[in-house]
Chain A
Amino acid sequence: MNIEAPTIARRLFARLCKGDNLLLSRNGPDEDAKLFQQVEADEDKCVRYFEVLGFRLERSDNCYYFTAPDEPQVNLEMKLERMVRLVRLLDFFSTHVESFGEGQIFSASTLAARCNGDTKAERFLLEIGKGANNQERLENLLQTMVRQGYLSDYDTNRQEYRILSAINYIFEFADRIQILNEGTQTEELNAKA
């Protein structure tokens, strides 16, 4: 079987398998954005090439990542835990960052100010972030998200962050969640009205 190896294969593999940042965003740093365009142009070739090697190159909305079918699965309990964490994280950011979504820029200091006095936000930071106070916990949380490739530093002096396209990958999970009795409740409310 002859498979043509795309020129960017090595760079792509190294980029998506190294460190904590396992997502390639369209609006990422310059190198990422350039690589994204190259992958997009050669997407079919890359998908076929890596499929033979046992990796699936998946595309979400404006981002790429690898999955491997034969990789040992995290157990269901762990997955559920991560899903709950995902929901809580998105809820936290959607509540406190206006128009939280791809491409948006927000300031950590504004976010911290909005969290102050908000018991729900403080409890969330206490449970999910590491640090002595809320400020530290929030910083750690944001830095973790930067390392994982969901945010990027936009202006370090002003502590501004930019939301990368990779966020769409986790948004997709949130969109797939269905609240089972939601339809019934709406119908009941409509009937009452």
Chain B
Amino acid sequence: MCCGYGANDDFVWRLKSVGIQQKINCIIGDPDNTKTAQIGESPHTQVAIAFCIATSVMAGLNCWLHLAEFLCMRVYKDSFFRIFQSDIRNGLQRFFENRLVRVTPEIAAELIDAATLEKLTGLQLVEFDPDTGEYRLDDRAERFLDEMLGASEIAQADWLIGLLEELRRLIEGHQKLADTAKSNALLRRICRLMRTCLSRIQRHLEDVKTAVDYEYRAGSDYEIKLMKLQWHLERARSFGHSVTDLNNLLRNDAFFQVHQEIELLSLRSRLIRTCGRIGEALIDVYQSIEEYLNRVLREYGRARKLIQLRGLIERHEHLTSTNLEEISTKAEGPWFREFRVRTLLNPDLIDSRPDLLQRALAKAGIGDASSKAKRVRLIEQPAEELPPVIDWTNVYEVFVGQKQDLFAFLTTVKIEGRCLTEAERVDGYCAILSNEDWVENLDSRSFLVAAKEGWEYAVVKPPNLKTA
């Protein structure tokens, strides 16, 4: 498939869209897709419904979504055009809404009065093309309005459908004409349209991507997010169809086989390549939309569950109504228990004294970061030969439980297979003495404690030390 979006892809995406539609219907509380009937009962929306049903039947889309889109965009557009002066506001809006159809002077007269039309022309917001005898919005004004009307408006692919129709009409006209001068004019117009298409098609794709990202990240309710993403999915699909049509037209139409002008050939080949690229990029866009939809659904489900859980917790029913206890039993990781390096030293010391951390890391058998990958030999020892490990969490009980001289006891302690060094023994001894919990138990210990200049220290007589 040259453009990456053909019959098979279309079928797959129809299936996916149906699935996503069902998900959305379930989320908005309408699993049987009955919203159409409910909305149709409202007398205020009859005209809109008629419009909706017509477009829905034609496009094969969901009526409810179209109605919502139609109403929302109408309000949005109306409020936006208030930035213009009141006398030109309506005229400009009408020209913008009819930008895809041919506005002859007769139609223009029906849209607005002659004075306003003159004013708009004078302000260069609307221009008259004497060649075709049509009024149209100035290109810059049209682009500005397109951009200012936001992502939803930009994401529409109507321009490509209109452009394709115009291209077909011109080709047909060109084939029927016998006058060389007129046919040359039509040929020039065809080239102009193809150039427009070339410059706009890539930009449109970028606009769709931006709009999708924007709608996903913009802060709105989950339902609105889902609905907007669904619109974008439909629009991207419609854009994909138009790109396929354009590609088929360029490849298969006899007009392009017969006419071999350099400009036309060059434009045709560039457009065919662009169509292929766009088709492939659209697949990524579809996937990102589906991923976003799934994420929104997941987040929505989670938010609902959390609200329910909060209620259960407040009513103290969380243990009986949920599997919280079971999950808690198996729960692991930093939230549920504090993991620390196994060492005799207080964990605060590790955090505040990097030298001690280095020592602890070295004991854990982990080398320097800057060194290259090296092979270490780890010898498995029989269970009874494993060195005793004193964890920081139970070191206090261990020391409280010992019956002999504390300093002497420290000499017998083995940490991961080795005795403490002299410095460590003194460090540890002082750390223990300065521990408030330990101080409370000092009275029952066999050593003396003295205080000098705010420092508390133990009085230990070296000659009486017992060694291991």
Q: Which residues of chain A have a CB within 8 Å of any CB of chain B?
A: 1-11, 13-14, 16-19, 22-23, 52-53, 58, 60, 65-68, 71-74, 76, 79-80, 82-84, 86-88, 90-91, 94-95, 98-99, 101, 148-149, 169-171, 173-182
Q: Given A82-B335, A177-B323, list of 13 further CB < 8 A pairs?
A: A4-B373, A4-B374, A5-B374, A5-B376, A6-B373, A83-B327, A84-B318, A87-B309, A88-B310, A98-B220, A101-B295, A101-B299, A178-B323
How far apart sit A84 and B324, CA to CA, in the bound complex (Å)?
A: 8
Q: Is B306 a contact of A71 with CB atoms below 8 Å? A: no
Please give, as numbers and ranges, the residues of chain A lying within 8 Å of B404 by CB-CB distance.
Answer: none
How far apart sit A74 and B394, CA to CA, in the bound complex (Å)?
A: 13
How far apart sit A37 and B46, CA to CA, in the bound complex (Å)?
A: 58
List, sorted by A's number, 19 A–B pairs whose CB atoms are closer than 8 Å.
A1-B379, A6-B373, A10-B369, A13-B361, A18-B351, A18-B357, A58-B333, A66-B339, A67-B339, A72-B391, A80-B325, A83-B328, A86-B335, A95-B307, A98-B219, A177-B322, A177-B323, A179-B312, A180-B323
How far apart sit A82 and B335, CA to CA, in the bound complex (Å)?
A: 7
How far apart sit A169 and B335, CA to CA, in the bound complex (Å)?
A: 9
Q: Is B329 a contact of A79 with CB atoms below 8 Å? A: yes
Shortest beta-carbon distance, A47 to chain B, in Å? Answer: 15
How far apart sit A73 and B339, CA to CA, in the bound complex (Å)?
A: 10
How far apart sit A73 and B370, CA to CA, in the bound complex (Å)?
A: 35
Please give, as numbers and ranges, the residues of chain B lying within 8 Å of A76 by CB-CB distance.
Answer: 325, 328-329
Q: Is B302 a contact of A71 with CB atoms below 8 Å? A: no
Shortest beta-carbon distance, B420 to chain A, in Å? Answer: 21
Q: Bits for B209-252, please: 1 = Cβ < 8 Å to A, else 0.
A: 00000000101100000000000000000000000000000000
Report which of B303, B318, B325, B337 forms a contact with A94, defined as CB distance below 8 A.
Answer: B303
Please give, as numbers and ranges, the residues of chain B lying within 8 Å of A73 by CB-CB distance.
Answer: 337
Q: Nearest residue in B to A91 (C-beta to C-beta)?
A: B306
- The answer to whether A177 and B339 touch (CB under 8 A), given A8-B369, A72-B391, is no
Q: Which 6 A-B pairs have the closest CB atoms?
A: A98-B219, A22-B334, A91-B306, A79-B328, A10-B366, A83-B328
Please give, as numbers and ranges, the residues of chain B lying within 8 Å of A16 by CB-CB distance.
Answer: 339
Shortest beta-carbon distance, A94 to chain B, in Å? Answer: 5
B435 within 8 A of A: no
- The answer to whether A91 and B307 touch (CB under 8 A), given A3-B378, A4-B375, A5-B366, is yes
Q: Nearest residue in B to A80 (C-beta to C-beta)?
A: B328
Q: Is A17 a contact of B367 with CB atoms below 8 Å? A: no
Q: Is A10 a contact of B351 with CB atoms below 8 Å? A: no
How far apart sit A6 and B329, CA to CA, in the bound complex (Å)?
A: 33
Q: Is A17 a contact of B368 with CB atoms below 8 Å? A: no
Q: Bits for B332-362, please: 1 = Cβ < 8 Å to A, else 0.
A: 1111111111000000001100000100010
How far apart sit A65 and B375, CA to CA, in the bound complex (Å)?
A: 24
Q: Which residues of chain B have a CB within 8 Å of any CB of chain A?
A: 217, 219-220, 295, 299, 302-303, 305-310, 312-313, 318-319, 321-325, 327-329, 331-341, 350-351, 357, 361, 364-369, 371-380, 391, 393-394
How far apart sit A135 and B144, CA to CA, in the bound complex (Å)?
A: 43
Q: Is A179 a contact of B322 with CB atoms below 8 Å? A: yes
Shortest beta-carbon distance, B405 to chain A, in Å? Answer: 28
Q: Is B339 a contact of A22 with CB atoms below 8 Å? A: yes
Which of B217, B308, B333, B351 has the most C-beta atoms of chain A within 10 angstroms of its own C-beta? B333
Q: Is B340 a contact of A94 with CB atoms below 8 Å? A: no
Report which of B299, B327, B341 forms a contact with A177, defined as CB distance below 8 A.
Answer: B327
How far apart sit A19 and B51, CA to CA, in the bound complex (Å)?
A: 63
Q: Is A79 a contact of B308 with CB atoms below 8 Å? A: no
- The answer to whether A67 and B369 touch (CB under 8 A), given A5-B376, A52-B378, A87-B313, is no
Report which of B220, B305, B328, B338 forms a contact with A174, defined as CB distance below 8 A.
Answer: B305
Report which of B309, B323, B339, B357 forms a contact with A71, defined as CB distance below 8 A.
Answer: B339
- The answer to whether A82 and B336 touch (CB under 8 A), given A5-B373, A174-B305, A177-B323, is yes
Report which of A22, A95, A173 forms a contact with B327, defined as CB distance below 8 A.
Answer: A173
Please give, as numbers and ranges, the residues of chain A lying within 8 Å of B328 by CB-CB distance.
Answer: 76, 79-80, 82-83
How far apart sit A84 and B217, CA to CA, in the bound complex (Å)?
A: 29
Q: Nearest residue in A to B220 (C-beta to C-beta)?
A: A98
How far apart sit A8 and B369, CA to CA, in the bound complex (Å)?
A: 6
Q: Nearest residue in B to A98 (C-beta to C-beta)?
A: B219
Please give, as numbers and ranges, the residues of chain A lying within 8 Å of B351 by CB-CB distance.
Answer: 18-19
Please give, as numbers and ranges, the residues of chain B lying within 8 Å of A5 by CB-CB distance.
Answer: 366-367, 373-376
Q: Is B374 a contact of A177 with CB atoms below 8 Å? A: no
Report which of A1, A53, A149, A174 forms a contact with B306, defined as CB distance below 8 A.
Answer: A174
Please give, as numbers and ranges, the residues of chain A lying within 8 Å of B340 by CB-CB distance.
Answer: 17
Q: Is B309 a contact of A177 with CB atoms below 8 Å? A: yes
Shortest beta-carbon distance, B403 to chain A, in Å? Answer: 24
How far apart sit A179 and B308, CA to CA, in the bound complex (Å)?
A: 8
Shortest beta-carbon distance, A10 to chain B, in Å? Answer: 5
How far apart sit A66 and B380, CA to CA, in the bound complex (Å)?
A: 22
Q: Is A14 a contact of B361 with CB atoms below 8 Å? A: yes
Q: Is B309 a contact of A91 with CB atoms below 8 Å? A: yes
Q: Nearest residue in B to A14 (C-beta to C-beta)?
A: B361
- The answer to whether A10 and B331 touch (CB under 8 A), given A171-B302, A177-B324, is no
Q: Is A179 a contact of B366 with CB atoms below 8 Å? A: no
Please give, as numbers and ranges, the residues of chain A lying within 8 Å of B365 by CB-CB distance.
Answer: 53
Q: Is B324 a contact of A83 with CB atoms below 8 Å? A: yes
Report which of A11, A68, A88 forms a contact with B369, defined as CB distance below 8 A.
Answer: A11
